[in-house]
Amino acid sequence: MMNAKLPPPDPFESLGMAPPDDYRLEAPIVYYVGGPPTPAAKHVSGVILDVRPGALIVVAPTAP
């Protein structure tokens, strides 16, 4: 299990500037560009979305 902390938000990220209600996500979502994720990539993605919900695009090795 990892005990590392996530890095601080990008200084150019627009925190606090939420889109209008009709553009909001209904739930956090992750998109794996290369196909099905490895178990490790899926676990890390879940942890990231737990801490910072939103949309996450993952470009990482895929499961065989």
For residue 3, tell me if it sits in a domain. Answer: no
Q: How many domains does the chain contain in total?
A: 1
The two tokens of residue 38 are 């490895």
Please give the chain's pLDDT, 64 residues, in tens.
566 777 777 777 766 666 677 777 889 999 999 889 989 899 999 999 998 888 999 987 776 7
pTM above 0.85, yes or no: no
For residue 12, tell me if it sits in a domain. Answer: no
For residue 63, tell me if it sits in a domain. Answer: no
Q: Residue 56 in contact with residue 45, Cβ under 8 Å?
A: yes
